[in-house]
């Protein structure tokens, strides 16, 4: 039995959504075909890695899933506003991803009033999470792996955010980002997070279990013996 030190959410909400963290359309198509994919998150690093046209990538993904985060690259309010309004016109499934800065908060507040969905990225503290939610973010993205990388407790941050969310009426969904292994997804679900975004190589590990493979092999072998009789 795994010892779990965080307080597990006592209520329950709708099933935690699973997003793929990628800018690769083929990966989205592959995982979407399983029937278990709710959305996609992209960021400028992932888009740069693929080297494809940004708008084309986002539009193709919007045909595969109902929620696709497209990140602004401007860092000032006016620039974010211009980019975000353009992205939102591309497709109804676009969610404008905005960095957690004071300029970003202004942009989120503006987009919220215009009915444009937002995902506030690069969240590393509970105070940032609360400010983004109060500004009207649709989604916030705390980065847990990057906190673990600097010897802080990424999942502990999710536990604290979910504890605050359970005491107050924030409408904003908590998306666990920068996940690095399947256990992160299970822990996020146990804490009541609304969404986890998952890199392709981690998502591919989720359906696998050695005992499933061994069990299936045995079923097939036994069935072959019957059919030979
Ligand atoms: O997309 C945001 C986030 O998930 C990035 O993760 O692994 O670069 O810290 P990572």
Domain span at 210: 17-228
Instruction: Please work out whether the CB of residue 146 comes within 6 Å of at least one atom of ligand 1.
Output: yes
The proportion of the chain whose per-residue pLDDT surpasses 70, expressed as a percent, equals 94
Q: Is residue 5 part of a domain?
A: no
The answer to whether residue 167 sits within a structural domain is: yes
Q: What 8-state DSSP symbol labels residue 34?
A: T
Query: Half-sphere exposure of residue 63, counting CA atoms within 13 Å on the CB side?
Result: 8
Q: What share of the chain is helix, strand, coil (3-state, %, to 5)?
A: 50, 15, 35
132, part of any domain: yes
- Tens digit of each residue's pLDDT (9 = 90 or more) over 151-164: 999 999 999 999 99
Domain contains 11: no
Residue nearest to atom 10 of ligand 1 (CA): 178
Angle between the 54-62 and 77-90 helix axes, to the nearest 10 degrees? Answer: 50
Does any ligand 1 atom lie closer than 6 A to the CB of residue 21?
yes
Instruction: Establish if 3 belongs to a structural domain.
Output: no
Res 1: pLDDT? 39
DSSP state of 8: P
Provide the pLDDT for residue 11: 61
Tens of pLDDT, residues 155-193: 999 999 999 999 999 999 999 999 999 999 999 999 999
Domain count within the chain: 1
For residue 97, the model assigns a pLDDT of: 98
How many whole angstroms from 143 Cα to the centroid of ligand 1?
Answer: 7
| 97 counts as catalytic | yes
Distance 46 CA to ligand 1 centre (A): 9
Catalytic annotation, pick one of 17, 81, 97, 117: 97
Would the pLDDT of 203 be above 90?
yes
Question: Looking at residue 63, what is its pLDDT?
Answer: 97
Nearest CA to ligand 1 atom 7: 178
Domain of 92: which CATH number?
Answer: 3.20.20.70
Q: Cα–chain-centroid distance for residue 56?
A: 21
């Amino acid at each position: 039995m795994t010892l779990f030190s965080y307080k597990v959410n006592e209520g329950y909400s709708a099933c935690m959504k699973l997003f793929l963290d990628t800018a690769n359309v083929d990966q989205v198509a592959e995982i979407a075909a399983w029937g278990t994919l709710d959305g996609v998150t992209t960021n400028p690093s992932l888009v740069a890695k693929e080297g494809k046209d940004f708008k084309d990538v986002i539009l193709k993904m919007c045909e595969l899933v109902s929620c696709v985060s497209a990140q602004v690259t401007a860092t000032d309010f006016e620039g974010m506003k211009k980019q975000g309004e353009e992205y939102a016109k591309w497709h109804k499934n676009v969610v404008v991803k905005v960095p957690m800065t004071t300029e970003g908060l202004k942009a989120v507040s503006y987009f919220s009033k215009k009915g444009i969905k937002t995902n506030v990225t690069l969240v590393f503290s509970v105070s940032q999470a609360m400010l983004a939610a109060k500004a009207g973010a649709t989604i916030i993205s705390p980065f847990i792996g990057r906190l673990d990388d600097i010897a802080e407790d990424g999942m502990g941050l999710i536990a604290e955010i979910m504890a605050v969310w359970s005491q107050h009426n924030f409408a904003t969904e908590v998306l666990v980002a920068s996940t690095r292994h399947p256990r992160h997804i299970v822990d996020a679900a146990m804490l009541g997070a609304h969404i986890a975004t998952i890199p392709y190589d981690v998502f591919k590990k989720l359906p696998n279990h050695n005992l499933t493979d061994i069990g299936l092999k045995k079923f097939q072998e036994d069935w072959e013996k019957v059919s030979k009789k």
